């Protein structure tokens, strides 16, 4: 045969127009900071990842920060999460960035496309750009029993 069916043509048209639409939107750039705000010189272990990248293992001295830049993918599925550990073994795993579809929670806090996370003795805080205050987000978890 060799003739392309109407159904195939329709499918090609749909795929091409979906890709064109996705590309017409500029991909937003973001910068995420994670700062060690622990007391008494406690070092902070940090490892952040997304589905496609592992940003490596970091050990931050107090006051130091780790930051990275990226653009969201065309599917708007970009998600970065981080694992944190204190010298006493307390751990915390949290989402450091995700693309919001229906909410504006993160977008408001991270105005200017910069998210400033600070790790403190009781948990992790996110700077709220609109109030310029660090807002408490998550408590530390005790380590899993060995
Ligand atoms: C985050 O901190 C940087 C300085 O490290 C500052 O320039 C920026 O305005 C802050 N952004 C927010 C949303 O707090
Ligand atoms: C974010 O902070 C800057 C500097 O304080 C301010 O000019 C801007 O209006 C803030 N954005 C929002 C959405 O509150």
E strand or H helix that includes residue 22? helix 6-24
pTM: 0.82
117 vs 32: CA distance, rounded Å: 8
Calculate how far, in angstroms, residue 101's C-alpha sits from the geometric centre of ligand 1.
Answer: 23
Using CA atoms, how far residue 14 sits from 4, 6, 9, 75, 76, in Å, is 15, 12, 9, 16, 19
Taken in order of first residue, the domains within the chain and their CATH numbers are 27-139 (2.60.40.10)
Confirm if 93 and 142 have CB atoms less than 8 A apart: no
Nearest CA among 112, 106, 119, 128 for reference residue 58: 119
118 touches ligand 1 (CB under 6 Å): no
- Write out 47-114 in H/E/C secondary structure: EEECCCCEEEEEEECCCCEEEEEEECCCCCCCEEEEEEECCCCCEEEEEEEECCCCCCHHHHHCCCCE
Q: What is the pLDDT of residue 14?
A: 82
Ligand 1 centroid–CA 32 distance in Å is 10
Compute the distance from residue 132 Cα to the ligand 1 centre, in Å: 9
Residues near 34 by beta carbon (within 8 Å), at least 6 away in sequence? 46, 48, 60, 65, 66, 67, 82, 84, 96, 117, 118, 119
Q: Is 110 near ligand 1, meaning CB less than 6 Å away?
A: yes
Pocket test for ligand 1, best of 127, 130, 132, 137 (most atoms within 8 A of CB): 127
Q: Helix, strand, or coil here: 20?
A: helix
CB atoms within 10 A of CB 58: 17
Q: What is the residue-level pLDDT of the chain in tens, covering all 146 positions?
A: 567 788 888 888 888 777 766 666 788 999 999 999 999 999 999 999 999 999 999 999 999 999 999 999 989 999 999 999 999 999 999 999 999 999 999 999 999 999 999 999 999 999 999 999 999 999 999 776 54
């Amino acid at each position: 045969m060799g003739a392309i069916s109407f159904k195939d043509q329709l499918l090609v048209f749909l795929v091409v127009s979906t890709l064109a639409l996705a590309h017409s939107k500029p991909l937003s750039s973001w910068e995420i900071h994670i700062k060690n705000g622990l007391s008494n010189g406690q070092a902070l272990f940090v490892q952040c990842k997304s589905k496609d990248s592992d940003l490596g293992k970091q050990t931050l001295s107090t006051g130091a920060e780790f930051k990275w830049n990226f653009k969201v993918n065309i599917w708007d599925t970009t998600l970065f999460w981080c694992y944190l550990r204190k010298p006493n073994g307390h751990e915390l795993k949290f989402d450091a960035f995700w693309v919001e579809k229906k909410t504006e929670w993160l977008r408001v806090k991270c105005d200017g496309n910069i998210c400033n996370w600070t790790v403190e003795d009781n948990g992790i805080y996110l700077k709220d750009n609109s109030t310029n205050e660090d807002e408490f987000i998550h408590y530390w978890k005790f380590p899993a029993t060995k």
